[in-house]
Chains A and B, each alone.
Chain A
Amino acid sequence: MPVQTAPEAPGISQQALREIIAGFPRDQSSLIPLLQQVQEECGYIPRDAVDSVAGALGLFPSQVFGVITFYSQFYTAPRGRNVVRVCRGTACHVRGGKKILQLIQNELGIQDGETTADFRFSLETVACLGACALSPVMVVNHSYYGKMNPKKIAAVLSQYASR
């Protein structure tokens, strides 16, 4: 997945990592929830985290990396602090979803799968967000925005512009 990396990529402190790890039992069944929590915290799984998680669970870093790259939910490169997901499903498509995607791409200046240079936004597309009644739909982080139109796009994005 192409990502623009910048020197000030967000990371995670050793302290924060230790706290997260402390919250899980030290066996291999903790791996996925632990990785999810790390990703929740900093948007992706940094290298340092792979080493610490592997060490804590008695795994090799390569094994942890294997799991991360097996599941599409995990990211190995920094993502934006806000993840914008635009629906490409059938219902959204017939109601102008493609147009919405284009407008968002223009607005953020990035393509599907990319992250803005300031790490504010990442953009992804999804097959169906399961909210077809509201189509066309976009989601920012965990909030759904339905019945999108060009005007609403700017309004929604501006809510996140300072985060």
Chain B
Amino acid sequence: METITIVLNGKEISGRSGMTILELAREAGVEIPTLCHSPHVAPFGACRVCLVEDEARHALVASCVTPIAPGMTIRTDSPLVLETRRTVVELLLSSHPEACVLCDKGNACALRALAADLGIGDIDMDRIRRFSEIETANAFIERDLTKCIMCGLCVRACQEIQVIGAIDFAGRGFNARPATPFDMPLDKAACEYCGTCVTLCPVGALSEKTRQYRGTGLEQTPTVCSFCGSGCSIMLQTRDNRVMSVEPNEENSVNGASLCVRGHYGHDYIHNPERLTVPLIKENGSFKQASWDAALDLIAHRLTQIREQSGPDSIAVFGSFRCTNEENYLIQKFARAAVGTNNVSSSARMSTSPNIVGLTKAFGYPGATGTIADIEKSGVILCLGANPHESHPLIAQKIKRAARFHGAKLLLADPRQSRMTPFAHLWLRPAPGTDIALVNAMLRVIMDENLYDKDFVRERVDGLDKLLECARRYPPAYAAKVTGIPEEQILEAARIFAGADAACIIYGSGITHYPNATYSVLAIANLAMATGNIGRPGVGVYPLVKENNGQGACDMGVLPDYLPGYRKVSDPEARADLEKLWGVAPPAGDGLTGVEIISQAAAGGIRAIMNVGANPVAVFADSTTMKKALESLDFFVALDIFPTPTTNLAHVVLPVACFAEKDGTFTSAERRIQRVRKAVDPPGQSRAEWQVLSDLCRRMGLPAEYKSPADIMAEIARAAPIYAGVSYARLERQTLHWPCENADHAGSPVLYEHAFPHRDRAQFMKVEYLVPDEETDMNFPFSLITRSHLYHFGSGARTMHSKQLKEMFPECFLEIGAEDAEGLAVADGQRVKIVSRAGSMELPARITPGLPRSVVFVPVSMSAAEVNSLFSTQLDVVTRTPNRKMCAVQIERM
């Protein structure tokens, strides 16, 4: 790259060609004020406060848009610059209301700061008033355009960063304003309340609705969002031990200046008064407050007693994606070393074990093969069984940016029309649960037409015969019949995918929650390998791990068949290594999975469950059976932050810290390990799970002297080879993608660049297509599909305790197409009863455009327990995880 030298305030300084004067000045530590500039969006050059003087030409130029050129002599503080800047700011102030006292932006207002710096007090210009109503209709954002300085940052945030485009400039001259189409209120326009425009607005024109005139937080703590697996970095802004607001943490983060509505506005659950604050012990059917000592003694005593009576395998432990890596590590250590059982699982396992098995078999590591940022480098993106726009908004943002700004072709397989559909190059509408047939038929076309990457396959993959064998069974005409996708579209998708320089595959719970999940994952891996799309930025396979730490919980070995770092329980060497570390050997045989634990609980084989943060009643299929099973336990302990349908069944409930109240790490869906930091104290007597678990280990005779989570991470580094190089000292400065093999290893943002872990080669795998056995019939004519929802998450325990999110979407609903609704004579908003083979529930119907016939959708998080009661416990054939995606139902008017 060419170097250009200029003179800046009398000093020679060099920069790279293409840099703007502003960028170079900032690099050199020279401050130039800006109002309309943000490094996250394209330069705009509208406000002119960044003017500098080019002395060689005697000209004033806007430094944010002017590239450096050889021979420039720039002054940022000449009298001419200061004088002009002053006039620019005075002009802005002349049409700005004098409402600083009442402005929520307060000291964060860039205009006010600039006026103060320039010593502008009163201005002697005629004031020009702008009139505009303050818009407050929605739950999140307030717009007062009288304060707008037309910097365009909101417009660029919405269009360029989020690719939502709810607003643009409308009108012209004095009437110009950032506006929604037809000046609709935000809640009627496409706005998704991500708040990115609010973050970037330099003045008080856009502000958060909740923060009204109460000032801003005094301290900031960088940490990680507690909702989805995207792993956005956030800043918790706190005052007086309260989180006042949440902002994106732009430094070193996957998300830059953006967040989604959950991350930005959904964390008010932290201070919800319904939080659990005291240990509770159930006596005669009702909860009594207890001391920590009494509760912990009781737990240690009862677990020890049950172990003596019925053996360690009569006890099971659940971990949770809500907990940190350190805590999940202690959860499995508690199970394996303190109790002595491999019966340890989590709800994260239900979504991720098809990935663990499938991706490990094919490639070697159970995780996304590349980074979220690199999705923007893909030329073709195949998105299957996922609605990232609701489940992983940040990932949707990257896909949309790739499609709109970098010319990527999005092959979108989704029966339902969504906000992703307008970005699709090809919108394929497979019948629910049939994606695997589509993928196999694409492979068939690619092999038949000789479009596969012969060099890659020869050099890096074994098992071509297996691939040919299963491709053979999927002629596109057959797949067209199974999936309902026209044959030409299957051919076209295959050709586009095979023709890409860089293609990636993104898939979600529409793959992993079906009974054929593992085979689907293998088929996806086959497709990536056959086309050579592994081992470079912008290619590969991205399983959308749902929860913030779903990846981490599995990495830590909260799995019945894997130890930390995915070493197999059945591997004697792995067990011996842990014995050295722990002083106690983990038991040899695989433990029971979550579903098996529950059925054993019902059958009496499991007598006690220690449940750290999971909410099985809400998230497992068939919640009625689940409830009965938990009720029949001799001893049930639940650790949680809120009372849930699960904690209600416990004998002992322990109140614990949420993510904002403890230190630790989360590992996101891109295998990125990030620091979680304590910003406020836990409420009441609640304690962090790692403290509770250490205490319990000690009470059960296992030494656990951890002074802080950093000590636990030091042990994790020794237990899990993929975390070997991870330490808090390093994580203070950076984030790390595992595998990170030692203290000098930089981590692995992209996997398999040079080799695969097993014998250096990847494996094509045999794949079966199984028809999901929840078939519709006369009595149950509709397929009900669960889906994620932008405003609610997981079991809903947290988002339904967020005042703002709940205000926006207070209640679960059924999405039904207009024709189906008409057939049932159901009106929009009318309550209906859904009946499945396993259960029933009532909820209002919403007539929704763009649904296939006879398929209805329910966003699961708002009434997770009721929705899951509709499902039977059909398990994935390979990993024994339950189907929680589709079931056949009848819909009745009420």
Task: Please list the residues of chain A having a beta carbon within 8 angstroms of any beta carbon in chain B.
Answer: 47, 50, 55, 58-66, 69-70, 76
Contact = CB atoms under 8 A, between A and B. Distances in A.
A65 B159 contact: no
B453 interface: no
Given A65-B168, A69-B171, 6 more contacts: A58-B404, A59-B165, A60-B166, A60-B168, A63-B168, A76-B182
Given A50-B181, A65-B179, A76-B182, A55 B422 contact: yes
Across the A-B interface, the 8 shortest Cβ-Cβ residue pairs: A60-B165, A62-B168, A66-B168, A65-B181, A69-B170, A61-B181, A69-B171, A63-B168
A79 to B, nearest CB: 16
A62 B184 CA distance: 10
A66 B169 contact: yes
A69 B176 CA distance: 9
Contacts, number: 50
A62 B189 contact: yes
Interface in B130-187: 158-159, 164-172, 179-182
B190 interface: yes
A125 B890 CA distance: 62
A60 B159 CA distance: 8
Given A62-B166, A62-B167, A70-B172, A47 B422 contact: no
A47 B168 CA distance: 16
A61 B189 CA distance: 9
Contacts of B159: 60, 62-63
Contacts of A76: 182
B190 A69 contact: no
Contacts of A60: 159, 164-166, 168, 190
A81 B159 CA distance: 36
Contact of A61 (B158, B172, B190, B404): B190
Interface of B: 158-159, 164-172, 179-182, 189-190, 404, 422
Nearest to A71: B172
Given A69-B171, A69-B172, A70-B171, A62 B165 contact: yes
A49 to B, nearest CB: 11
Nearest to A51: B181
Contacts of A55: 422
Nearest to B169: A66
Nearest to B163: A60
Contacts of A63: 159, 165, 168
A59 B422 CA distance: 10
Contacts of A50: 181-182
A142 to B, nearest CB: 26
Contacts of B172: 69-70
Contacts of B170: 62, 65-66, 69-70
B665 to A, nearest CB: 38
A62 B422 contact: no
A152 to B, nearest CB: 37
B407 to A, nearest CB: 11
A47 B182 contact: yes
B179 A61 contact: no
A60 B190 CA distance: 9
Contacts of B181: 47, 50, 61-62, 64-65
B431 to A, nearest CB: 25
A60 B167 CA distance: 8
A63 B178 CA distance: 10
Contacts of A59: 165
Given A60-B168, A60-B190, A70-B172, A65 B422 contact: no
27 contacts: A47-B182, A50-B181, A55-B422, A58-B404, A60-B159, A60-B166, A60-B168, A60-B190, A61-B165, A61-B181, A62-B158, A62-B170, A62-B180, A62-B181, A62-B189, A62-B190, A63-B159, A63-B168, A65-B168, A65-B179, A65-B180, A66-B168, A66-B169, A66-B170, A69-B171, A70-B170, A70-B171
A137 B180 CA distance: 39
Contacts of B169: 66
A60 B180 CA distance: 10
Contacts of A65: 168, 170, 179-182
Nearest to A68: B170
A73 to B, nearest CB: 13
Contacts of A47: 181-182
A64 to B, nearest CB: 7
Contacts of B165: 59-63
A44 B158 CA distance: 27
Contacts of A66: 168-170, 179
A62 B163 CA distance: 12
A47 B182 CA distance: 8
Contacts of B167: 62
Contacts of B171: 69-70
A114 B546 CA distance: 55
A50 B170 CA distance: 14
Contacts of B179: 62, 65-66, 69
A55 B164 CA distance: 13
